[in-house]
Amino acid sequence: MTLTDRLSIRRSLFLSTALLVSGAQCVFAQEKNPAELSEYYSPVPEIVTPGKTSSDAPSDAIVLFNGKDASSWAAQDGGPVKWQVGDNAITVVGGTGTIHTKQGFGDCQLHIEFREPSEVKGEGQGRGNSGIFLMGRYELQVLDCYNNKTYVNGQTGSIYKQLVPLANACRPPGEWQTYDIIFTAPLFNEDGTVKAQARITVIHNGVLIQNNASIWGSTEYIGTPKYEKHGPKEALVLQDHGDRVSYRNIWIRPL
Amino acid sequence: MTLTDRLSIRRSLFLSTALLVSGAQCVFAQEKNPAELSEYYSPVPEIVTPGKTSSDAPSDAIVLFNGKDASSWAAQDGGPVKWQVGDNAITVVGGTGTIHTKQGFGDCQLHIEFREPSEVKGEGQGRGNSGIFLMGRYELQVLDCYNNKTYVNGQTGSIYKQLVPLANACRPPGEWQTYDIIFTAPLFNEDGTVKAQARITVIHNGVLIQNNASIWGSTEYIGTPKYEKHGPKEALVLQDHGDRVSYRNIWIRPL
Amino acid sequence: MTLTDRLSIRRSLFLSTALLVSGAQCVFAQEKNPAELSEYYSPVPEIVTPGKTSSDAPSDAIVLFNGKDASSWAAQDGGPVKWQVGDNAITVVGGTGTIHTKQGFGDCQLHIEFREPSEVKGEGQGRGNSGIFLMGRYELQVLDCYNNKTYVNGQTGSIYKQLVPLANACRPPGEWQTYDIIFTAPLFNEDGTVKAQARITVIHNGVLIQNNASIWGSTEYIGTPKYEKHGPKEALVLQDHGDRVSYRNIWIRPL
Amino acid sequence: MTLTDRLSIRRSLFLSTALLVSGAQCVFAQEKNPAELSEYYSPVPEIVTPGKTSSDAPSDAIVLFNGKDASSWAAQDGGPVKWQVGDNAITVVGGTGTIHTKQGFGDCQLHIEFREPSEVKGEGQGRGNSGIFLMGRYELQVLDCYNNKTYVNGQTGSIYKQLVPLANACRPPGEWQTYDIIFTAPLFNEDGTVKAQARITVIHNGVLIQNNASIWGSTEYIGTPKYEKHGPKEALVLQDHGDRVSYRNIWIRPL
């Protein structure tokens, strides 16, 4: 339907209604139950079969790691991942570098489970450190903050050095933990300036810890965050920070 | 610290830094590791012990229904609830009216589970209809939309007659389903006009169906939604629409 | 730079920093003034020469009507506009239908001036009615509400039948008035459901009347607003509602 | 009206409608024109008389500086301002410190005009530097960036060291420039963590340069921004950075 058509129709509707108003008192009733004026039938949302539990992937999710198969991932050098796959998990092997998905993602719902080493070693940022980099740039911190003090903008569930989590919902080391993430990618202007900041919602072990918060830019260890223009889809990256953090049940729904 | 103090301190900091810059090349190093410039230690987020599973209440949640005790709720007439409590659930008894929490809530994270009657009766809005009214006004639709067609802005997970869900993630009737809700209350100006619309995020059985969407006003069966100024905390209401819908595991975390 | 390169660099940076930390106390100082850690120089925002007054178009704006030339517009039937151009304004000629821009627009900053007929006729919606349809669908109401009562969700500055303005900032009929509009287009999923609602900020005669408010869908005279998937750029439409409303100084900056 | 009353009424409405539906085909018409279902008449937005031009204060604004009277302001030490009032402007006197409003403000629309010294001296941050601190903490940079290069997150219209402006809309030094600001204050949780980031929209000389962007925290010269819990209303502060920047036409509308 062209713009002209649509506008004509709208106008006709308006005129016919006007006529109706000046007509007999029953004209409206012949047309519609008033409740029906606020009901419509399309487009029909997609049917998605949920997983058996909230850890299981819904039918439309891309399963990035099912406990056995790491083939959706590549090592930092582009080759096969060098992390350890076993016991239904994939575990960081310190010094082998980050791993990243072969596929890129933008706006998404991401479910990911992680487990801190049951043998507690180190303290602060030195205890069970890893990280989930949305679009390879925006780090949701993974750390063992169960009875472990560090800077609050770097604790578990922080957007590293940017957004302090609303709560510390860590489980003890050795137990599996969940992140349920809703991520909205940043938008850029043609000249590279930022049109809309990235936003993130995170539920950690069932507890809301980030509530549609705006991300400042790529997360940095030193210096200020900064947005650098990138594509609408970028790889998801898991960090090797030297500690034996494990991951499992990783699935993602592009939004 | 008064404003004057704070401003003086800021200014002093600025001046001392300026002096440092013109000083010897090593002065910065004596002060701080540059990485520490983006680290801070307070305020410390509250420690919240997560539930055993994502259905279980975290330590700071208010448990509104644990399967047995409906004492947090009142009937429409203010007396004890007339719905049926049993089998670890509370079930609508048609014609007894809504039930509402004795306590009021504003911004919140709400977990609630519901079960549609396993015996399928009726169709469209007539099949397993109930509803969750945030602040007593903003209805998240509860309906059996498993193989059941209705208007899309009234299907399971819609904000009734306002916001179509992003997906239909219904489980079959007779199975327990979950809603994980993040709700931001509306804000009003003194004259009753709207300062900020309410917003809602909903995860249905693990699937994102509302993503920080803006609610239009109180949900209406006929006519337009409209915001009417109300308090910052209002009762949570569950609807009696005549169908035997059950609820369980209801907990809420004021945000 | 490939992902692998970028990740390698990040890692190198991290490692070298780690080494620095364990080095002599002066290493940081040799590198950077700590204030410089939060300063960067690109990308450089575009230089835009502002108009002489806030009514005049900035250098990067598309001038849609300069008081004389209506060639950026077409009539409802696609032909030349049939409204009256003269006296530095373009004025509705009742019954000739809407006019729309030949070019489409999405996110934008729009400046537009309008004048209600100095001879006051009619009341309520019958006095000086016209409208500005962003993307041809989302109507910012134009009406003479100076000493004129109507439904509040249809008064000057409302998003018609959706969003009540925060204030009534109307000038008397016969005087030129301004709308300064910041519009964010809605986003759609592939299946036509809504990914992000449209948002609007409006300053009327210098007074904020809509503050980044979410639009419900296309504005309707009867029945509920609904989003229907459309392109990222759509024509701007001005309404012929029969009254001799004039417009001038129309310019737009795509965002 | 109690909750019980309201719920009863809603239910009655629902039931009566249901009865109507099963009644004669004319019942709806006797009640309402369908267009009226989406119209309502209260609350009525406040009438605000706009200023004569967009620089002039609307009737409900608090005039903070009218060109002559600086009595709404105090010096850093709490005493009378030591800046120079004259020529319809107030001008920084270097070394006398910041000035701040005696009254506090939260959410607001702020109009402020500034003029850079016509005699160009210095470069980068050293040319015509001052700043507008919303709530005494969140700095909108004032600088002469007309043919003057500096770090982009510190140029005119930046939220200092946080948000790069979308454009450089500077007028030449010696000319009056305008900022039209819409500011939403941050919200804090009881424990001091951040509930909602502050947001800002800025129009510079008629050009949109910040579009409802989220502020990271208090603006810092060195180190990371951080939110520290403060009251809902805090003084507006103008910075003495040593340069002879002038201000005029300062008015604010609490939102």
Q: Do B166 and C33 touch (CB under 8 A)?
A: no
Domain span at residue B91 reads: 62-254
Asked if residue C99 is part of any domain, the answer here is yes
How far is it, in rounded angstroms, from Cα B28 to Cα B167?
Answer: 55
C90 & C12 share domain: no
Which residue in C51, C153, C221 is closest to D206 by CB distance?
C51
Reading the block at residue C16, the tokens are: 């070298």
Asked if residue C56 is part of any domain, the answer here is no
How far is it, in rounded angstroms, from Cα C213 to Cα C201?
Answer: 7
C205 at the D interface (CB within 8 A)?
yes
Give C255's pLDDT tier (boundaries 50, 70, 90). Answer: very high
Q: Do A41 and B111 touch (CB under 8 A)?
A: no
How far is it, in rounded angstroms, from Cα C237 to Cα A6?
Answer: 12
How far is it, in rounded angstroms, from Cα B206 to Cα B209?
Answer: 9
Phi, psi of A203 (to 5 degrees): -115, 120
B145 & B105 share domain: yes
C34 & C66 share domain: no
B34 & B67 share domain: no
Asked if residue D46 is part of any domain, the answer here is no
User: What is the per-residue pLDDT across D184-208, written as a single tens digit (0 to 9) for each?
Assistant: 999 999 999 999 999 999 999 999 9
Element (H, E) at C21: helix C3-22
CB atoms within 10 A of CB A163: 26
Q: What is the distance in angstroms between the Cα of A104 and the nearest Cα belonging to chain C?
A: 11
D30 at the A interface (CB within 8 A)?
yes
D26 & D89 share domain: no
Q: What percent of chain B has pLDDT over 70?
A: 88
- Specify the pLDDT at position C56: 95
How far is it, in rounded angstroms, from Cα C180 to Cα C208?
Answer: 9
Contacts across the A-C interface (CB distance below 8 Å)? 87
Which residue in B3, B44, B98 is closest to D136 by CB distance?
B3
Which residue in B28, B216, B226 is closest to C33 by CB distance?
B28
Count of domains in chain A?
2
Q: Where are the beta strands (DSSP E) in D108-245?
A: 108-115, 130-134, 138-142, 167-168, 176-184, 187-188, 194-196, 199-204, 207-214, 234-238
DSSP string, A99-114: EEEEEEESSEEEEEEE
Asked if residue A45 is part of any domain, the answer here is no
How far is it, in rounded angstroms, from Cα B162 to Cα B214?
Answer: 9
pLDDT tens over chain A, length 255 residues: 344 444 443 443 343 333 333 333 334 444 579 999 999 999 999 999 999 998 899 999 999 999 999 999 999 999 999 999 999 999 999 999 999 999 999 999 999 999 999 999 999 999 999 999 999 999 999 999 999 999 999 999 999 999 999 999 999 999 999 999 999 999 999 999 999 999 999 999 999 999 999 999 999 999 999 999 999 999 999 999 999 999 999 999 999
Q: Which amino acid is at B176?
A: W
Of D145, D243, D141, the residue nearest D202 (C-alpha): D141
Give C31's pLDDT tier (boundaries 50, 70, 90). Answer: low
Which residue in D40, D42, D191 is closest to B43 by CB distance?
D191
Reading the block at residue A134, the tokens are: 């949305």
Reading the block at residue B189, the tokens are: 């100006």
User: Rounded to whole angstroms, what are the CA distances from C139 to B223, C127, D34, D238?
Assistant: 19, 17, 19, 39
Q: Which residue has the tokens 């903490």?
A: D137
pLDDT above 60: residue D227: yes
Residue D188 · residue D227 · CB < 8 Å: yes
A40 at the C interface (CB within 8 A)?
yes
- Touching D (3+ Cβ pairs <8 A), the chains are A, B, C
Q: Which residue of C has its CA nearest to D108?
A: C208
Cα three-residue angle C169-C172-C174, rounded to 5 degrees = 130
Q: Do B54 and A50 touch (CB under 8 A)?
A: no
Residues 6+ apart with CB under 8 A from C71: none
For chain A, give percent helix, strand, coil, nearest 5.
15, 35, 50
Give D54's pLDDT tier (boundaries 50, 70, 90). Answer: confident
B138 & B33 share domain: no
User: Rounded to whole angstroms, what are the CA distances from D107 to A58, A160, B229?
Assistant: 42, 29, 19
- Touching A (3+ Cβ pairs <8 A), the chains are B, C, D
> Going by DSSP bridges, is the β-strand pair B46-47/A167-168 parallel, antiparallel, or unpaired?
parallel
Q: What is the distance in angstroms between the Cα of D58 and the nearest Cα belonging to chain A?
A: 31
C74 & C122 share domain: yes
Reading the block at residue A149, the tokens are: 């003090």
Q: Which amino acid is at A65?
A: F
Q: Do A7 and C43 touch (CB under 8 A)?
A: no
Q: Where are the beta strands (DSSP E) in chain C?
A: 46-47, 62-65, 73-75, 84-86, 89-91, 99-105, 108-115, 130-134, 138-142, 167-168, 176-184, 187-188, 194-196, 199-204, 207-214, 234-238, 246-254
Interface subset of B 46-85, CB within 8 angstroms of D:
46, 76-78
Give B192's pLDDT tier (boundaries 50, 70, 90). Answer: very high
Residue B165 · residue B211 · CB < 8 Å: no
- pLDDT, mean of residues C6-24: 38
Q: Which residue of B has its CA nearest to D74?
A: B4
- pLDDT, mean of residues C44-54: 96
Residue A143 · residue A155 · CB < 8 Å: yes
Asked if residue B195 is part of any domain, the answer here is yes
pLDDT above 80: residue B5: no
Which residue in D25, D195, D216 is closest to A216 by CB distance?
D216
Reading the block at residue C179, the tokens are: 């709308």
User: What is the per-residue pLDDT across D1-28, written as a single tens digit (0 to 9) for each?
Assistant: 344 444 443 443 343 333 333 333 344 4
Q: Do D7 and B76 touch (CB under 8 A)?
A: yes
How far is it, in rounded angstroms, from Cα B253 to Cα B108?
Answer: 5
Flag the least confident range among A107-121, B10-24, C180-194, D87-101. Answer: B10-24
Judging contacts by C-beta atoms under 8 Å, the chain D residues touching residue A31 are 34
How far is it, in rounded angstroms, from Cα D206 to Cα B39?
Answer: 38
Q: Do B253 and A207 touch (CB under 8 A)?
A: yes
Q: Which of B17, B26, B158 to mutate to test the interface with C (most CBs of C within 10 A)?
A: B26
Q: Do D58 and C206 touch (CB under 8 A)?
A: yes
- pLDDT, mean of residues B203-213: 98
- Specify the pLDDT at position A22: 34
- Specify the pLDDT at position C238: 98
> Which domain CATH number covers A244?
2.60.120.560
For B200, counting Cβ atoms within 10 Å of its Cβ (0-12 exposed, 13-18 middle, 19+ buried), the class is buried
Judging contacts by C-beta atoms under 8 Å, the chain C residues touching residue A154 are none
Helix, strand, or coil here: B16?
helix
DSSP lists the bridge partners of residue A114 as A177, A247
Asked if residue B56 is part of any domain, the answer here is no
Of C80, C109, C84, the residue nearest C94 (C-alpha): C84
Q: Do C37 and B37 touch (CB under 8 A)?
A: yes
pLDDT above 70: residue D101: yes
Residues 6+ apart with CB under 8 A from A217: A224, A225, A226, A227, A228
Q: Which residue of A has its CA nearest to C231?
A: A3
- Touching C (3+ Cβ pairs <8 A), the chains are A, B, D
DSSP lists the bridge partners of residue D196 as D187
Helix, strand, or coil here: C34?
helix
Asked if residue A54 is part of any domain, the answer here is no
Judging contacts by C-beta atoms under 8 Å, the chain C residues touching residue D51 are 205-206
Q: Do A34 and D27 touch (CB under 8 A)?
A: no
B73 & B198 share domain: yes
For chain B, give percent helix, strand, coil, nearest 5.
15, 35, 50
Asked if residue A122 is part of any domain, the answer here is yes
User: What is the per-residue pLDDT across C116-138, written as a single tens digit (0 to 9) for each?
Assistant: 999 999 999 999 999 999 999 99
Query: What b-and-e string marks burial along A24-61, b requiring 16 or more CB atoms within 10 Å of the CB?
Result: eeebbbebebbbebbbbeebebbebebbeebbebbeeb
C32 & C141 share domain: no
Which residue in A26, A37, A164 is closest to D29 by CB distance?
A26
Q: Do B58 and A208 touch (CB under 8 A)?
A: no
Q: Do B161 and C29 touch (CB under 8 A)?
A: no
Residues 6+ apart with CB under 8 A from B57: B51, B63, B111, B249, B251
DSSP lists the bridge partners of residue A130 as A142
CB atoms within 10 A of CB A241: 17
Q: Do B221 and D97 touch (CB under 8 A)?
A: no
Q: Which amino acid is at B86?
A: G
For A15, counting Cβ atoms within 10 Å of its Cβ (0-12 exposed, 13-18 middle, 19+ buried), the class is exposed
Judging contacts by C-beta atoms under 8 Å, the chain D residues touching residue A201 are none
- Cis status of the peptide bond prior to A173, with omega within 30 of 0: no
B107 at the D interface (CB within 8 A)?
yes
- Touching B (3+ Cβ pairs <8 A), the chains are A, C, D
Of D162, D166, D154, D181, the residue nearest D219 (C-alpha): D162
How remote is the C-alpha of D219 from its chain's centroid? 16
C90 & C208 share domain: yes
Q: Do D193 and A164 touch (CB under 8 A)?
A: yes
Cα three-residue angle D176-D179-D184, rounded to 5 degrees = 165
Which residue in D17, D161, D216 is closest to A35 by CB distance?
D17
Q: Which of B37, B48, B76, B184 to mutate to test the interface with D (most CBs of D within 10 A)?
A: B76
Q: Which of C205, C224, C253 to mutate to test the interface with D (most CBs of D within 10 A)?
A: C205
Interface subset of D 141-200, CB within 8 angstroms of C:
149, 151-155, 161, 164-169, 171, 178, 180, 182, 184, 199
Give C54's pLDDT tier (boundaries 50, 70, 90). Answer: confident
DSSP B148: -
D249 at the C interface (CB within 8 A)?
no
First and final C-alpha spacing in chain C: 28
D111 & D193 share domain: yes
Residue D106 · residue D248 · CB < 8 Å: no
Judging contacts by C-beta atoms under 8 Å, the chain C residues touching residue D220 are 38
Judging contacts by C-beta atoms under 8 Å, the chain D residues touching residue C149 are 41
C29 & C81 share domain: no
Q: What is the distance in angstroms between the Cα of C44 and the nearest Cα belonging to chain D?
A: 6
User: What is the per-residue pLDDT across C192-239, written as a single tens digit (0 to 9) for each?
Assistant: 999 999 999 999 999 999 999 999 999 999 999 999 999 999 999 999
D226 at the B interface (CB within 8 A)?
yes
Q: What is the distance in angstroms between the Cα of C78 and the nearest Cα belonging to chain B?
A: 34
Phi, psi of A88 (to 5 degrees): 65, 25
How far is it, in rounded angstroms, from Cα C226 to Cα C230?
Answer: 12
